[in-house]
Amino acid sequence: MQSAEEIVTFIMRSFGLEYWGCALNLKHPKPRSMIKWMPPPQEWVKINVDAGISVNKNHAVSGFIIRNDEGLIMGSGFKGHHLTRSVVEALAFLHGLQFALEMGFTKVIIESDSRIQFIAREGNRAAHAMAVEGLQNEADFLWVEDAPLRVVEEADANRRYSQPL
């Protein structure tokens, strides 16, 4: 079993390599699949993560939202940190994955508007709303099958727009 520090180091190294590949692709128009949130395959869950930073407060937050193949919220949360944005984004990845595993999910896809499996900010609005919510709170929070109102609104909008016409 690897320590949390070893996992964060591995993720950070992976982020560095993937960043350059993503950065090159972002100079071109974004494919629609990278802009719009899409549900995971049946019997899978998708975790979207984001990080928020308040320089004035010297405070950073990792936020995540877990949704099933119908776009329904299975879990969500945020956690405060005193770290740099790239490390906080990696921690959001870890916190979301850990919470999904604790809830019994084993088929998981993770998306971020920074790296990992890239999705543009427009498709990651629910996770971004979770990070913003976390910046407005001092304590850490986890929800099961729920989230703050703004996050629920974004997730519902994603679900409506991801359904075939």
| Domain extent listing, the chain | 4-162
CB 130 within 8 A of CB 64: yes
What does the pLDDT read at residue 124?
84
CA separation for the pair 74, 86 (Å, rounded): 26
What does the pLDDT read at residue 20?
40
- pTM score, whole prediction: 0.66
Distances (CA, A) of 126 to 11, 72, 116, 131, 137: 22, 12, 17, 9, 17
Distances (CA, A) of 12 to 6, 8, 87: 10, 6, 7
Candidate ranges 6-10, 50-54, 111-115; pick with highest mean pLDDT: 50-54
What residues form DSSP beta bridges with 60? Answer: 53, 81
Tell me if residue 106 falls in helix, strand or coil: coil
What does the pLDDT read at residue 13?
53
Q: Which of 160, 159, 144 is nearest to 74 (CA)?
A: 144
pLDDT digits (tens, 9 = 90+) for 75-94: 999 988 877 666 777 888 88
Tokens 């869950």 belong to: 45
% of the chain at pLDDT higher than 70: 73
Q: Which of 163, 153, 132 is nearest to 53 (CA)?
A: 132
Q: What is the mean pLDDT of residues 48-73?
A: 88
Q: Which of 143, 129, 63 is nearest to 95 (CA)?
A: 63
Q: C-alpha angle with apex 71: 29 to 115, nearest 5 degrees?
A: 40
Burial class (CB in 10 A: 0-12, 13-18, 19+), 142: middle
CB 85 within 8 A of CB 79: no
Average pLDDT, the chain: 78
pLDDT digits (tens, 9 = 90+) for 118-143: 677 778 889 889 889 998 888 888 99
pLDDT band at 26 (very low <50, low <70, confident <90, very high): very low
CA separation for the pair 17, 53 (Å, rounded): 23
Out of 3.30.420, 3.90.930, 3.40.50, 1.10.1060, the CATH code matching 4-162 is 3.30.420
